[in-house]
Amino acid sequence: MSGAIDPLGAADELNARIRHARTEPGRNHRLEALALAVSANLPVLLWGEPGIGKSAGLQQLADGLGVRLETVIASVHEPSDFAGLPIIGDDPAGTGVPMAPPDWAVRLTRTGRGIVFFDELSSAPPAVQAALLRVVLERRVGSLQLPEPVRVVAAANPPSSAADGWHLSPPLANRFVHLHWTHDPRTVARGLAGTWPAVPVPVVDPARVAGAVARARGAISGFLTARPGLAHHLPADAEARGQAWPSPRSWEMALRLIAVGYATGAAPEAVSAAVVGAVGDGAGMELLSYLEELDLPDPDRVLADPDAFALPARGDRQLAFLTAVVAAVQGNLTQRRWEAGWAVLAKAVEAGVPDVAARAAGDLAALRHTDWPVPEGIDHFLDLLHLSGALAAG
């Protein structure tokens, strides 16, 4: 009929107007923490009640990074969907039986980068979680190896609010950075009025990378030297074992998160959320308190002028600082920086703490090129280093 109104067309126009919204600069520490973990290439698990914007936040991150987002609803899949389906060829005895990967894995591999998002993980039965463990741990889906730039993110509802919810197994839980997703009622109200926040994605500064890694190594090493009981602690109850808890694996995750935080200049709140999400509340809060008091000087600046720094007073801080210095030398190894490292260790001996410097001395000696002469500052460590063979002639 001429001039007749298209009911669905008018409805679609209305819906399009509702979806259209402007953005304004904003901050979201949860989204920044997610970005830090994604930058560190660590699997992330977003915990939160249904309908509070986990998927929307992840889409915003993917858009900010300029990468593809592939969403997989874990709870409606079988274990074979992640382990792969066998495809029998002409000569299975000679060539074996390959395991065909699903289409989302093929698309990400062809693209070479992106984010795969496993939603409703806590609603997936243990057999499916076990199959997903290989994807998270080895980055393999069937016979396909996911490219390194493909990041893994999952989401879960608490078992109390998930349909047929399950606790995560400890091996799977300990491989994720756990972030608890909540909503801000004021942000929701303003967004539904037509204005949503646009959160900038933290970007690693290449000029900060070497110093960030060295500082993070020193901080984690110093903390675990002072608190060795926190190196590994498996919680007693099933619910806690399905969340974040400290282990050598999760401490390595915390190391990477702190280094990325230093290299991006991320907000302290975002770094705190990410670190607690890796090693748990108790260990994470202790580490963060330690970092606040630590205040390590930039090891690269110290190596540029070894005579201009003062050694920290406390033993654990001294060890953290010296570990950071050796890590900085290793990250950019030259004869001048190696010799400057010995000048730093010599000041530790002069301060009356040769035992603190002994371990760092062994690590620094192991970096020596055979044609480099033995520097003057090494005299106090000669007996220890000769016993270890670290200064043997090349």
Cβ–Cβ < 8 Å for 272, 288: yes
pLDDT 10s digits, 227-266: 999 999 999 888 889 899 999 999 999 999 999 999 999 9
**Burial call 137-165: b when 16+ CB within 10 Å, e when fewer:** eebbbbebebeeebbbbbbbbebeebeeb
For residue 260, give the 3-state DSSP assignment: helix
Query: Which tens digits make up the pLDDT trace of 49-82?
Result: 888 888 888 888 898 889 999 999 988 888 888 8
pLDDT score, position 23: 86
Question: What is the predicted pLDDT for the residue at 387?
Answer: 44
CB count in 10 Å sphere of residue 304: 12
Q: What is the CA radius of gyration of the chain?
A: 26
The reported pTM is 0.83
Q: Are residues 299 and 214 in contact, defined by beta-carbon separation less than 8 angstroms?
A: yes
Write out the two tokens for 55. 């998927």
DSSP reduced 3-state for 343 = helix
Using CA atoms of 83, 141, 159, 161 in order, give the dihedral in degrees to the nearest 10: -110
8-state DSSP, 23:
E
**Band of residue 165 on the pLDDT scale cut at 50, 70, 90:** low
Residue 114: predicted pLDDT = 95
DSSP of 193-257, one letter per residue?
TTEEEEPPPP---GGGHHHHHHHHHHHHHHHHHH-GGGS----SSHHHHTS----HHHHHHHHHH
pLDDT for the residue numbered 286: 94
| Mean pLDDT, residues 320-348 | 90
- Residues counted in the chain: 394
Q: For residue 224, which of 299, 292, 316 has the smallest C-alpha distance?
A: 316
Instruction: Please compute the mean of the pLDDT values over residues 90-100 and round it to a whole number.
Output: 68
For the chain, what are the domain ranges? 43-87+99-175, 299-394
The DSSP code sequence of 370-382 is TTSPPPGGGGGGH
Backbone phi, then psi, for 45, in 5-degree steps? -120, 120
- In eight-state DSSP terms, residue 304 is H
What's the pLDDT score for residue 311?
81
Backbone angles phi, psi at 25, to 5 degrees: -60, 140
Banded pLDDT at 393 (limits 50, 70, 90) = very low
Only one residue has tokens 């989204």, namely: 31
pLDDT digits (tens, 9 = 90+) for 9-37: 989 999 999 988 888 888 888 889 999 99
Give the residues across from 71 on adjacent strands.
117
Closest CA to 244 of 235, 231, 256, 257: 235
Mapping DSSP onto H, E and C, the string for 104-138 reads HHHHHHHHCCEEEEEECHHHCCHHHHHHHHHHHHH
Could you tell me the two tokens for 351? 């301060």
Please report where in the chains the tokens 């060295």 appear, as a residue. 214
> CB neighbours (10 Å) of residue 78?
13
Q: In this prediction, what percent of the chain has a pLDDT beyond 70?
A: 90
- CATH architecture assigned to 43-87+99-175: 3-Layer(aba) Sandwich (3.40)
